[in-house]
Amino acid sequence: MTSICLDGTWDFAYCETDEFCTRFDSCAAVPGCFDAGSALFNHRGVGWYRRFVEISGPVCMRLRGGLALRVFWDGAQVGQCNLPYSPFECEFDAGDFGRHELIIAADNRVLDDPRQQFHPFYDFYGYGGIYDHVEIHPLEDGISRVEVLPLSHTDGTVKIRLECRNSPPDSVRLSFDGKPAVQVSYADEFEYQVPDFRLWTPESPCLHTLCVDDVEVRFGLRTIRCEGRDLLLNGEKIKLVGYNRHEAHPQFGAATPDALTIEDIRKIKSQGCNFIRGCHYPQKEAFLDACDRMGILVWEEALGWGNPEEHLVCQEFQQGQVEACRQMVRRSINHPCVIIWGFLNENASNKASARPLVGRLAQLIRATDPSRPVTFASNRCLRDCCFDLVDIIALNTYPGWYSDVEGDGIDVIRPELEKLAAQLPEKPLLISEIGASAMFGDHSECRWSEEHQARYLLEALECIFTMERYTGVALWQYCDTKTYVNTIHFYGRPRGFNNKGTLNEYRIPKLAWKKIGEFLATRRKQT
């Protein structure tokens, strides 16, 4: 199954409506976001991308973009994805061998309609374009998909799941790590012991390959499960320490170059962290690959942000969420770095009407992948009524930052975290967001200064390390990120950015970054 990568310079046109475009008067990079560049900065409309491809017969095209994509092949629509950031597979018949016209329309218009998956009030910019590499491959008979789910970290047993195109063969060839293949009878699902297995851990992220007939996948052998208040990685209690990270950069939008993504992960790892929450949508493949290789533990989540009751009860919204979770799990299931599945960040989970959707998504994910815990990040904290539906309790809390308090607000962090720890049910408890804004270069020592932010985040970290009850923390956030200005966030988002990054949007460190590095280095020496 040889994929053709379609990255490069495509013909391009921009229109304000979605009328089919025939005049391509410009060019654009794929991957790329048309509204991040100077010509169409902040525009909302439809970007039309075109190129020609030589391929024939039944094919599958993989792409990821926003906010809504439509795919046209020789003028006819062959696919559509209304799920922003979602890894999308588009299958169609490419026809006879020859030169075919491929057009992808990326629509970034945002409607405030409950049926939509992206909303104007989300606190991150909804870029228009093709966010990730575009690949196309011929669909051939035989094995079409291989999933490997680790079952045991002690004897190396995995569950192998196979999918076939057309009728399954009687037997398949299995080869681990390039070793001589063994022939086994075909089954949709079976258990197997990986020969000479090595565990995947953050310290030693060993990876294996499995080749089933002609399909090769990479996987890591590790287990992750909840036991009482603890999260166990390979049977041992683990503390997660890291950041929330958006896939964004002012010059590239959501279509960040892989080099930047990999460098971000390297920085986070070398600072002494072991965890990234990929907020608030499915991640790009290069991110997951790099986390697999560098030993970073990942929380991957489906798109959602502060969705009110009105969205949660809307049939079309629910259907979109179900499909987004399905696509995310299907795409990322073999990545050992992913240890937590999430969805619906800060939904109205204090309302009973949230329970059907939260419960449905958790069940759906577990049915496809019973090997990882499921959660959502709650900002309803003690008022939440959905914690019984998920495996980990994850809280977004900003004590002393958003709350109205005297002074710098830092001394309220510990009491607040103690209060939450004392009152929440017996499940692993994670702080999925905590942070304070700092304007890059502000050294006034007041709120919004780099000094204040550094003190705030150090206190949060100190609490997490000294309070046994907490399974970990994802600080908010790795770097500053572009958001909307004309919404409810206006007063808290100077420059149109969420300024709670420990680096600015160009990855230049603020004081907090340096201080957190020192803090983690000292802790490493002590243990």
Please give the C-alpha separations between residue 295 and each of 268, 290, 291, 382, 425, in angstroms, as whole numbers. Answer: 11, 8, 6, 33, 30
Q: What is the CA radius of gyration of the chain?
A: 23
Q: What is the DSSP string of 111-140?
A: ---TT-SS-TTSSS----EE-S--EEEE--
55, amino acid identity: I
Of residues 275, 287, 317, 476, which one binds ligand ADA by CB under 6 A? 476
Q: By C-beta, is 72 or 343 nearer to ligand ADA?
A: 343
Nearest CA among 136, 182, 140 for reference residue 160: 182
Distance of CA 23 to the CA centre of its chain: 35
Our CB check for ligand ADA shows the closer of 498 and 504 to be 498
**Minimal distance, residue 129 CB to ligand ADA, in Å:** 21
Q: Considering the rule CB under 6 A, would residue 504 count as an interface residue with ligand ADA?
A: no
By C-beta, is 334 or 345 nearer to ligand ADA?
A: 345
Q: In whole angstroms, what is the distance from residue 485 CA to residue 256 CA?
A: 22
Q: Which of 249, 452, 500, 510 binds ligand ADA (CB under 6 A)?
A: 500
Least distance (Å) between residue 185 CB and ligand ADA: 48
CB contact at 8 A, 256 and 248: yes
Instruction: Tell which one of 261, 271, 349, 498 touches ligand ADA (CB under 6 A).
Output: 498
Cβ-proximal residue to ligand ADA, closest one: 123
H or E element in which residue 463 lies:
helix 450-466
Q: 388-447: which residues touch ligand ADA (CB under 6 A)?
A: 396, 433
CB of 490 to ligand ADA, least distance (A): 13
108 vs 498, beta carbon nearer ligand ADA: 498
CA 302-306-312 angle, 5° bins? 75
Q: Using the minimum distance from each CB to ligand ADA, give the nearer residue, 63 or 393.
A: 393
Beta carbon of residue 305, minimum distance to ligand ADA (angstroms, whole number):
6
Rank residues 223 and 345 by Cβ distance to ligand ADA and give the closer one. 345
Name the residue among 105, 84, 89, 98 with its Cα closest to residue 12.
105
Work out how close the CB of 433 gets to ligand ADA at its nearest, in angstroms, rounded to a whole number: 5
d(CA 208, CA 334): 11
User: Which residue, among 124, 139, 131, has the nearest Cα to 61 in the 3D structure?
Assistant: 139
Half-sphere exposure at residue 301, Cβ-oriented, CA atoms within 13 angstroms: 26
Min dist CB 331 to ligand ADA, Å, is 22
CB of 58 to ligand ADA, least distance (A): 40
Using CB under 6 A, which residues numbered 330 to 389 contact ligand ADA? Answer: 345-346, 379
- Least distance in angstroms from the C-beta of 345 to ligand ADA: 5
Nearer to ligand ADA, 321 or 396 (CB): 396
- The Cα–Cα gap between 434 and 440 comes to 18
Closer residue to ligand ADA (CB): 201 or 347: 347
> Among residues 9 and 487, whose Cβ is nearest to ligand ADA?
487
Q: Distance of CA 114 to CAs 83, 110, 315, 316, Å? A: 14, 11, 9, 8
Report DSSP letters for 77-111, one per residue: EEEEE-STT--EEEEEE--SSSEEEEEEEEE----
Nearer to ligand ADA, 10 or 484 (CB): 484
* Residue number, 123 or 505, with CB nearest to ligand ADA: 123
| Minimum gap (Å) between residue 273 Cβ and ligand ADA | 19
Using the rule CB under 6 A, which residue among 123, 247, 301, 480 binds ligand ADA? 123
In whole angstroms, the minimum distance from the beta carbon of 238 to ligand ADA comes to: 23
**In angstroms, what is the minimal distance from the CB of 407 to ligand ADA?**
20
Contact 425, 393 (CB under 8 A): yes
Q: Are strands 76-81 and 497-498 parallel, antiparallel or unpaired?
A: unpaired
Q: What is d(CA 122, CA 119) in angstroms, rounded to the nearest whole number?
A: 6
Q: Binding residues for ligand ADA, how many (CB under 6 A)?
A: 9
Cβ partners under 8 Å of residue 325, min gap 6: 302, 341, 343, 361, 364, 365
Residue ranges binding ligand ADA (CB under 6 A): 123, 345-346, 379, 396, 433, 476, 498, 500
